[in-house]
Every structure is written in C-alpha cells, then in structure tokens.
Amino acid sequence: MKKTAYILLGISLLAFWSCKPKDEFDGPDLNDIYGDFLINQPLQISDDNLDFANGEVSNVTVGLSKNVNWRLEITGLQSGAKKIATGFDSQIQYTWDGTTTNLPMFHIESCALQLTFQNQLDTLRDTINVSSLRALEGFVLADFETGLNPGWDPFVQSGANMSFTIQTNNQAAQGNRYYDMGGTVTWDWLIGLLHIPASAYGQTTLPLDENASNVYFNTLLYKPESIDNGLVLFQFREDDNGDGVYTEGSEDLFSFQISPATEGWAQISKRYDQIVTLINGNEGAPIGNGLHEPNKIFQVSVLFLANPTSGYSQAYLDYMTFTSGSPVNP
Amino acid sequence: MMKKSNTIYKALYTVALLFIFQMCFAQQEAKKVTFNGAARAQFFGDRYKLNAAEEDTITNAKLNSGNTLVDLGINIRPHSNMEIQGLVRIRNDYGGFWGAGVSFDVRQLYVKGVAGGIVRYQLGDINYKLTKYTLWNNNQEIISNTPAIFQQQTDVVNYDHFYSNDNSWRQQGASAEMGLVFSKYVKELNFYGVATRVKTSDFGQTNDRIFSGLSIQMLQSKYASIGWTATNTFDIEGTSRQNSTFHQPVVTMNANFKIPFSSFQNSIDIEAGKSGWFYKNLDAAPNLKGQFLDAELLSRHKATGIFGSVQLKYITSEFRSTGAQTKRTNYDAVPVAYQRITNNQDLRQITMLDLMRESSLYNMQLQTKLMAFSPQYDNITPYGDATPNRQATIIKLGYNKAGSPLNIESLIYTGSEVKGEGTKTFRTFRRSDTRAQLDLSEFRNDTTRVAEVSVSYRNDKTTRAGTEAIPSVDLNTQVWSIGADYEWSKNWHVLAGMQMISYNGFDFKNVRDQYGNIYNFTEMKTDGEEKMWALGIKHTFSTRSFLSIQYYNFELKQNTTDGQNYNFGQWMLLFQIKF
C-alpha cells in the first residue's frame, strides 16, 4: 500500500511539474487600456498608382504600440466614392482591391486616404491614384454608358415632368451615366418602364447559368432627397417551353419590388431562386412551370411606379448585372 | 390589521396542532414524537458617529433593533427506520407588539430513513457536502476564526443561514446513501447521491435548474481509500420556453493514504479533476473546460504533537464548480443597518462588523457564476480551496497535543495565477497566517472553568509587476486579533476581544459579463483600517443556553477620496437556548 501511495504521490508531482502556466490572458489587454498610443511603424502604401484592371492591389500597413479601434477611409476625390475599413489591431494590414463601401464606384481619379484611431488625436493621411478600373464579373444587362440599347423597349406615360432619360454626370454609380426615371402620373401607378429582351443581345434567352441558386440579379438604385413614394418593380419573364416567345398567362413571370429607403445609391442584389411570383404586389402561385430557370429568361422589365395621388416621383437606375456565385462586389 | 391577525392565528393554530400530535403519539408509544428547536432573543443598541470635517446632520445617531424568535421543531418517528422533522420559526421583531413585525416561516421539513435496511435516504431540506472541489460551503472570510466574543454574533448568522461547521450546503431535494462491506481486498464501498433544485422555472425564460452529485468512495483498508465524485448543475429542458440549457459538470478522483513511519503518522491526500461550463443551444456563451490537481502530504509526530504539511495546488482559470465556488457572502448586497450615511446619504460599504451580524449579506443558494468578492478581505482564496486560476505551495507547521494548553498553527501560502488577467504577467500571492490558542485553565485551581487566550495574525500580499503604462499591483492586507474568555466564577464568563484589518495598495478588479467572461477591469485603490474591540459578560445556564451582554466599538478609517470614516458603538444582548 505504501508503494501505491508513493507511486500516486510521484504521479501527482509529475503532473504538477507538467502543469504549465498559460501564455495567454483573460480579459482585455491592459496595455490597450493604459498603454501610450504610439505609431511605431509609419503609414506605408505598397502601391500608390493602382492599375486595378490588371489586378493590382495596394497594401496599407501601420504599426502601433497597442490595439486600437481604427477606421480607414479612401475617398475618390472626383467621384466621392468611399471605401471604409475598420478593425481593432496594433498591426494594421489592409489590402485595397478597388472595391467600394459607399457608392458610387471609384473612377479613374486621385483618392484621399485617411486613417483615424478611436480616442486618439492622430490622423494619418496620404493619396492613392487609380489609373484603371477593376473589371467586374458577370453579365452586364445595362450600364447606360452607351445610351439606350436599340433593342430595349421603353414606355413612358404622358404625365408631367417626365424624365426617363440617360443622364451624364458625376452622380453615376458606375461610369458616367445612369438612367433617370421620374415624373408625375395622376391616373395610374405606372410612370414608365423599360423592357430589356434577350433579343437585344442577339439571344433568345439571357446567357446565364441554369442553376438559379447560383445566379444573382444586381442593380444600383438611387433615391433622391425627399422623394419617398417611388417603387421599382423588376420582372423576369421566362420562356419555359423554349418556343422563342413569352406567352402571357402560361409561362413564368418572377418579380420583386423595391421602395428605395435611404437617400443616395444603394446596391440591390437578389438570388434568382428567391425571386417570387407577384400578383398585385403579393406573393402568388407560379404562372408557368414554377421552376426558376435563369437560362430561360426571355425578358427583364423595370417598371417605375408611384401612388397616383402621391405626386412627383423619381429614382435613378444604374449597372444592372447578373453574377454567378455571389452578388456583385462594386 | 387583518394580515397581522392571520399571522397570529396561523402561529397559534400550528402550535396547537403540534401539541395535539404530541399527545396522540405520546399515548401510542414513548418517544415517537419529540420536540426540539431553539429560542433566541437578540437586541442591538447602535450609536453612529461620522468622523469627518462636516457633521452628519441627516443620519440618526442612534438605532435600536432586535428580535425574539422561537424555532419549534417536531420530530416524528413513525417507526424505527423513519424520521420526520418539521421546524417552524416564529419571529417577532423588536417593537412588534400585537402582531406587528411578526413572521411565521417553515424553516425545515424533511423525511429521512432507511429503505429496506440498505439505503439511507432523506427528502426535503438536506445538508450535504461532498469534496472541497465539488460541493463545499466555504467559511466566510475575516470573521470565521475570530475570538470567542465575536463568534457569538457569527454563530447567529450561521445558524440562521444553515451554515454548519461541517461546511455542508443546505438545499432542498433528496439524498441517498448506501454501503457495501466486503471480506477481502476491499473493506467498504460507499455510495452517496444527492439532487437538489437550485432554481425554479418561471415558465417563461428560466428553466428548472438542478444540482446533482454522485460519489463512490472505496475504503480499501484503514490505510487507503480512493473515491470518484461527479456533480452536475444543469437546466431541465422543457420546463420553460427557453431552448438553451445550462450545464456545469465536475468530475474528480480522490485518494487518501495513511502511512505510519517510525513515530510519525503520515498521510497523503490527493484530489484531481476537471470541469465544464457551457450552454446548449446558445452560441454566445463560452465553453469553459477547467482542470485542477491538489496534493497534500501531512506528517505528525505522535509523541511531541508537532505536525507539518506541504500542499501543492494547480487550478486553471477555467475551472468552475457551482457547489464549491459559491460564496456565503454576497458582496453585491448592502447592509441593512445604517444603509446610508453622511449628508449625501451614500451607501455604506460592507465592513467586518456587517459581516459579523448582517443577515442580509448572506447567500443560501448555489450560484453558477463566480460571485463578487472583496479583494481587501481575501484576494488569494476568495472561493476557498476551489478558487480558480491559482497555482500554489502551502506549507503548514503546528503544534497540537492532547492535554497541552497550547495549540498553534502557521501557514505559508506562496502562489501565482495560472493565466494572466489583462496581461501575460501573473499576479503572485503570498500569505502567512498564524493562530494560537492558550488554555490557561491548566494553571488554575479549578481546571473546569474556562480561561483561554487566542491570538491570530494574517498577512496577505498580492503583487504583479507593471510596465511604464500599466500600474503595478501591490495589495496588502493584514488581519490580527486577540481574544480572551475567562470564567471568573462558575458559569460566569468575561469575554474580551479585538480584531483589526488594515489594507492598502492597488489592484484591478475584474468586471465579468453574464457568462463570467472578464470584459473590463476597474481600478481599486484602497487604504483603510477597520478596528473592532468588544467586552462582555456571558452567563451559561447549561451547555445549550446562555445569556450574554456585550459592548462593541467599531472604527472605520479610509484614506481614499471616496473613503468612509465613522465609528459604531454597539450594545448587544443575546439570549440563546437550544433544546
């Protein structure tokens, strides 16, 4: 029994010997609370003249004496586009690939870079030049850069102050042009519409993946200040039977509507299999075979609507695309 | 008025019922029904004085309070293998004549017995303990080893909160025990099981929460025993609309060996285990997995009475044990007596005087999170032996011999954290604690009369090196006490005592979220002193009853900006009888 006791005591001592203190700690780092804030490694930008079209990226690095909440803002001096990144680090390493947080997208322009730190007075600044724009993936349905496609079929009510024109100015979300939809129609919800058939691209149906859960419809919408009554309805007509025409009432028509909520540009992205059949604004039973078949989209329509009693309404539309796998990353 | 009358009627009705029971059973068989219980009368006369430049003109200088109570129990033994105990408390607060301030509570109710001559069981209110890492009611800090005069008030608080000397927790539930005796290889195999409810469902977002424990102890011989203990605190799914359920298991192994060697009696105690702390169906909650190892080698020289021990501990910061880490003292509570003082009517901080006498500061329910503690009073073992995030060596040396008037024990605790808090640098802890008791009755003609002197001194030090930016931790606490109990005439005692705590220094206090994660630290600068002395007379009517009158003087001095400085004078009259 003595032997057993000594063996167990020995095992215990060995266990104590193997009990290592931990090289980590509980709770927040006291150095982050009490430590002096110092910039140990100044702001460095790996590439300040970015050729995004050729896949260039820029690495922004800063070394600090402690972890802080930081905020990086890259602002297009011409477009007003903003890329915002935040984090809590002492070694900031951020890679900018030309994407945008706040629309519009970046132009070929100079950008101001600003790095700020919570509860610290220091602000680090620099400039970056964008020499070419990154190529966006996906099938571009309309970016309005070359005007209205002759194959498109617009319809505009004869109301008051009707616009439905392509505007060219710095307000465009992408490039320099966007589609301005506006007017007052007192007898109907519909103010105007734009039919975009696949035939405008020399196809019977749009050249998209057949897997609806892999296809995203994307667009950029702008809500002008103080205009809250606009409704944008997107319709997707499918040629279910493949006869080269869309037959009303017997083939699928999937739709979704958006009432722009926040002022300015906003990105709208919908996975195609999540777009439903709308009947008078409410979800209803499919009209055709009920299958979401993006490769059978015959026509996309954009309808701009407003309550006839609500007065003037307006919204801008830009950069309608279909992407695969994920929403567009502007 | 109606409510008061109802309370009185209830009390009278119950007492009458108890008498009827007594008479009925007494006629059937002798001692089938017995009465037990206790009675107590306690009165305080407090005088408060603020020690500040500006006089406190708002707080009353004097306050009288007290109560009289009877715990009336009935013990029924329907047959030799069953016992039913019921205890009701009738309490009347000081000034509560004619029913005002009267309360009437059921204080204890249980059934216990032996089923089939094999399984010992108890249902209802049960006191239970397992091991120091699984289910153990640690003594409250500062006032647990005080001179006899201070112990009287502490005993009252402990009695009211069911804190027993055996460190068991009073819970409501069921327990069962059984043992097997063998003729070869193993002497005994004992099984212990307990299940209690620690939280009641509100049928909304709170599930029923159960504490359960199972222990198997194998006694191999008088020289060796080995055991396995498991506890689990868990929510019962479906008892509310809350989908997430809490689970806190602890599993330990323990062993004890007695190894006689020459004239030394040696023993080895080892306990090791692991714990979990997690919620099912709640991603936000952490999943804590902790371990501990505790081994002690104790040696005692039989002839001289000198003993010593070396204990090693390693407890990770993630170790959690609901049954062993729950504190008696609730430091989030506030004292009832003189709750607000000064002209600003600031909340009064908890002092050792309050720890000694304030019922409102004490907790009776097992808690699943680490409770708040007072670093000034105990920064080293705030959760007893199972305090997490500690690795330590504890060396004890003492002298204790039957028949010897002197009893002395010293302890040195040297340890550190296992995992830093807010930094990778560990706090280091050092405690030296000495207690001595001298029985002077040996030197008197009448050795049956008590003449005792007790002295104790404790010095705690917590340190952690800082950096240029982070303040270093340096917190010191000193506690010393001296007391005397002198029976100058048969059953007449003079009691005197003094206890002082001084604390100063700096440490960071953890701020924990709802799951016990540290998410912030607050600075704690402290520099203060608490002094308490008391003088009293006690007359013992028997070993079970006494009357005591005492005067206490308490002084708090704090040298910090938000510190409080005041004096309390307190008269206390205490009569107590147990029957």
CB spacing of A15 vs B293 below 8 angstroms: yes
pLDDT in tens, B250-260: 999 999 999 88
Q: Please report, in angstroms and rounded to a whole number, the separation of the first and last CA atoms in chain B.
A: 33
Mean predicted confidence (pLDDT) in B148-153: 92
Whether the per-residue pLDDT at B80 is higher than 90: the answer is no
Neighbours of B166 (CB within 10 A): 10
Of A140 and B7, more confident: A140
pLDDT bucket at B143, cuts 50 / 70 / 90: confident
Beta partners for B416?
B391, B428
pLDDT bucket at B538, cuts 50 / 70 / 90: very high
User: What pLDDT score was predicted for residue B391?
Assistant: 94
Out of B257, B423, B510, closest to residue A1 by CB: B257
Whether the per-residue pLDDT at B188 is higher than 80: the answer is yes
A190-197 and A177-183 as β-strands: parallel, antiparallel, unpaired? unpaired
* Side chain identity at residue A180, one-letter code: D
Largest separation between any pair of C-alpha atoms in chain A: 106
Q: Which of these ranges, A176-185, A294-303, B5-14, has the smallest mean pLDDT? A: B5-14
Of A84 and B27, more confident: A84
Contact B546, B575 (CB under 8 A): yes
* In chain B, residues 405-444 whose CB comes closer than 8 Å to chain A: 416-424, 426
| Neighboring chain A residues of B391 at a CB cutoff of 8 Å | 19, 21
Q: State how far Cα B286 lies from the chain centre.
A: 29
User: What pLDDT score was predicted for residue B444?
Assistant: 77
CA atoms of B579 and B144, how far apart (whole Å):
25
C-alpha closest to that of A64 among A86, A44, A91, A88: A91
pLDDT in tens, A131-158: 999 888 899 999 999 999 999 999 999 9
Matching residue, tokens 């150095």:
A31
Report in angstroms the alpha-carbon separations of B281 from A41, B44, B237, B258.
Answer: 44, 51, 11, 47
pLDDT in tens, B213-231: 999 999 998 899 999 999 9
pLDDT in tens, B273-283: 999 999 999 98
Backbone angles phi, psi at B578, to 5 degrees: -120, 135
Contact A282, A264 (CB under 8 A): no
User: What pLDDT score was predicted for residue B10?
Assistant: 53
pLDDT in tens, B328-344: 999 999 998 899 999 98
C-alpha closest to that of B87 among B187, B174, B159, B143: B159
Enumerate helices (H) and strands (E) in chain B, giving the number of each. 4, 25
Whether the per-residue pLDDT at A6 is higher than 90: the answer is no
Contact B329, B303 (CB under 8 A): no
CB spacing of A12 vs B295 below 8 angstroms: yes
User: What pLDDT score was predicted for residue A169?
Assistant: 86
CA atoms of A287 and A248, how far apart (whole Å):
9
Q: How far is A71 from chain B (nearest CA, A)?
A: 22
* Side chain identity at residue B89, one-letter code: R
Q: Is any Cβ of chain A less than 8 angstroms from the Cβ of B468?
A: yes
Using a pLDDT cut of 70, give the percent of chain B over it: 94
Among all residues of chain A, which has the CA nearest to that of B272? A12
CB spacing of B422 vs A26 below 8 angstroms: yes
Neighbours of A7 (CB within 10 A): 10
Q: How far is A19 from chain B (nearest CA, A)?
A: 7
**DSSP string across A170-214:** TT-SSTTEEEEEEEB-SS-SEEEEEEEEGGGGT-SS----S-GGG
CA atoms of B132 and B124, how far apart (whole Å):
24
CA atoms of B520 and A87, how far apart (whole Å):
19
* In chain B, residues 212-231 whose CB comes closer than 8 Å to chain A: 220-221, 223-224
CB spacing of A5 vs B268 below 8 angstroms: yes
Q: Is any Cβ of chain A less than 8 angstroms from the Cβ of B310?
A: no
pLDDT bucket at A23, cuts 50 / 70 / 90: confident
User: What pLDDT score was predicted for residue B459?
Assistant: 97
pLDDT in tens, B361-371: 999 999 999 99
pLDDT bucket at B4, cuts 50 / 70 / 90: very low
User: What pLDDT score was predicted for residue B307?
Assistant: 96
Among all residues of chain B, which has the CA nearest to that of A65? B469
Q: How far is B311 from chain A (nearest CA, A)?
A: 11
* In chain B, residues 490-519 whose CB comes closer than 8 Å to chain A: 508, 510, 517-519
Q: How far is B213 from chain A (nearest CA, A)?
A: 25
For A189, residues 6+ apart whose C-beta sits below 8 A from its C-beta are: A231, A305, A306, A307, A308
pLDDT in tens, A266-288: 999 999 999 999 988 888 999 99
pLDDT in tens, B100-114: 778 889 999 999 999
User: What pLDDT score was predicted for residue B2?
Assistant: 42
CA atoms of A125 and A110, how far apart (whole Å):
13
Whether the per-residue pLDDT at A5 is higher than 70: the answer is no
CB spacing of A19 vs B257 below 8 angstroms: no
**Per-residue tokens: B330:** 């609730």
| Neighboring chain A residues of B416 at a CB cutoff of 8 Å | 21
CA atoms of A257 and A267, how far apart (whole Å):
14
Q: How far is B327 from chain A (nearest CA, A)?
A: 22
Q: Is any Cβ of chain B less than 8 angstroms from the Cβ of A33?
A: yes
CA atoms of B455 and B458, how far apart (whole Å):
10
Mean pLDDT over each residue of chain B, to the nearest integer: 90
For B406, residues 6+ apart whose C-beta sits below 8 A from its C-beta are: B399, B436, B437, B438, B439
pLDDT bucket at B3, cuts 50 / 70 / 90: very low
Report in angstroms the alpha-carbon separations of B215 from B179, B209, B234, B395.
Answer: 12, 20, 18, 29
Q: Is any Cβ of chain A less than 8 angstroms from the Cβ of B309?
A: no
B428-439 and A264-271 as β-strands: parallel, antiparallel, unpaired? unpaired
Among all residues of chain B, which has the CA nearest to that of A12? B295
pLDDT in tens, B422-463: 999 999 999 999 999 999 887 777 778 889 999 999 999 999
Neighbours of A187 (CB within 10 A): 8
CB spacing of B259 vs A2 below 8 angstroms: yes
Q: How far is B420 from chain A (nearest CA, A)?
A: 4
Q: Is any Cβ of chain A less than 8 angstroms from the Cβ of B520?
A: yes
**Per-residue tokens: A254:** 């999937």
Contact A205, A178 (CB under 8 A): no
**Per-residue tokens: B268:** 């080895």
CB spacing of A35 vs B471 below 8 angstroms: no
* Side chain identity at residue B94, one-letter code: Y
Report in angstroms the alpha-carbon separations of B321 from B58, B165, B190, B331.
Answer: 45, 21, 23, 19
